[in-house]
Structure 1
């Protein structure tokens, strides 16, 4: 069984809208709903755990209960830090789950291919992260801002989510971080502290995290492109069907 956990308790200060950004509408639906529907479209995913601010738990449960096509879900209260919120989500993951994915609720454009790829890689390697090759040259600097190293660009990847792990590994990583008082930048950084392998799964550059108003515009554009592409595929299918019917009639 595969469970996907979605931290969505942040305040979205950089969006500057006075509300959690995942509640903002994107092409007529809240960002959160777009995200959950993406994961619900994957045959690999069995259930969802959504972690929101305590005051939003009831309203989000009501909202999601009216969304057709969602996989079974739970909504739980988050905490002061993303890592602590995810820990709350992990606490309600079904006992029979063997793989857990963690995904930013504000990434509504993740492809099913990426989701499936992370699940499969997590099963094989124990841990996996969606990522894309870095487009820019990266510099490592010291405390004075002086460049100390330029890593080869072909070895540098920009990490996204979903990130997937065997449940036992992820739980052990969270327990270790709690004992050490360690706050990581992502789930992979916690697992890496156990010296457990984490495999990179090639994602795509459309898998953006909606953080600023500009990101919202970009996400709208990508969704329109997807819609246009889908309409084109449907149109081609209908045209081929009509051609076949004509051949049969003649």
Structure 2
């Protein structure tokens, strides 16, 4: 079965601050995105890699690739105004309708190989595979009145990426009109009435969003 990895970094990354978007910030001597692409290439060097970034960043990214000697083959696709549109653009760039695609946040460079492998295996069997981790802290639900109610954390999971799907199904799922209810690719898939399969993720697979995340990411790279 043909396998694709759709690495999504279509946003401006403004929450981190500074002149350079978070996906291009260096950790361990090279930009975050290069670490992420390398993880998927190391899993399977025959994997077709698609990188979604803002169209206006193409020249900047290609210059970075030259500067860092980054030569992992990948197709560049222009992102949209939202994550939904960026993923849709990436899916539209895949001509095949048969196969599997792992959709992954570009700023999650610490996904483990066994998570990628299990995501493809499970999606091949069930149609989908979404990486999740258990909660470590107690949680409470805040009511409109301002009071709070204890929640059993064992009934909840934190959602990560990759979120891997059979191509035919996820392409069909993204034919719908965008909705605020679509918080990730799994919710778009579920909108079709299909059940999502969960697989264990890895705790280190953080999404780099803040300055503190970037500092922790640098620590993780130093320990690798």
TM-score computed with the length of structure 2 as normaliser? 0.91
How far did residue 142 of structure 1 move? 4.0
Q: What are the residue-to-residue correspondences of 1:72-83 with 2, within 5 Å?
A: 72-83=73-84
Q: Which residue of 2 aligns with 1:67?
A: 70
What does residue 121 of structure 1 align with?
A: 122
1:159 partnered with 2:159? yes
CA contact (8 A) 2:52 2:76 kept: yes
1:42 aligns with 2:43: yes
Structure 1 residue 144: Cα displacement: 3.9
Are positions 1:182 and 2:185 aligned together? no
Structure 2 match to 1:232: none
Higher fraction of helix: 1
Residues 18-33 of structure 1: matches in 2 within 5 Å?
18-33=19-34
- How large is the RMSD of aligned CA atoms in angstroms? 1.9
Q: CA deviation at 1:41?
A: 0.5
Match of 1:86 in 2: 87
1:46 offset after TM fit, Å?
1.2
Q: SS where residue 75 of structure 1 aligns?
A: strand
TM-score (norm 1): 0.82
Contact 2:98/2:168, CA 8 A, preserved across alignment:
no
Aligned partner of 2:106 in structure 1 is 105
User: Does the 8 A contact of 2:36 with 2:106 survive in 1?
Assistant: yes
Q: Bigger relative contact order, structure 1 or 2, given CA contacts below 8 A and separation 6+?
A: 2
Distance in 2 separating the partners of 1:143 and 1:98:
45
Residue pair 1:8, 1:51 contacting (<8 A) in 2 also:
yes
3-state DSSP of counterpart to 2:105: coil
Unmatched 5+ stretches in structure 1: 227-250
- Supply the distance in 1 between the matched residues of 2:196 and 2:223 (Cα, whole angstroms): 32
Q: Is the 8 A contact 1:128 1:164 kept in 2?
A: yes
CA contact (8 A) 1:44 1:119 kept: no
What is the match of residue 169 of structure 1?
Answer: 169
Aligned residue-pair number: 220
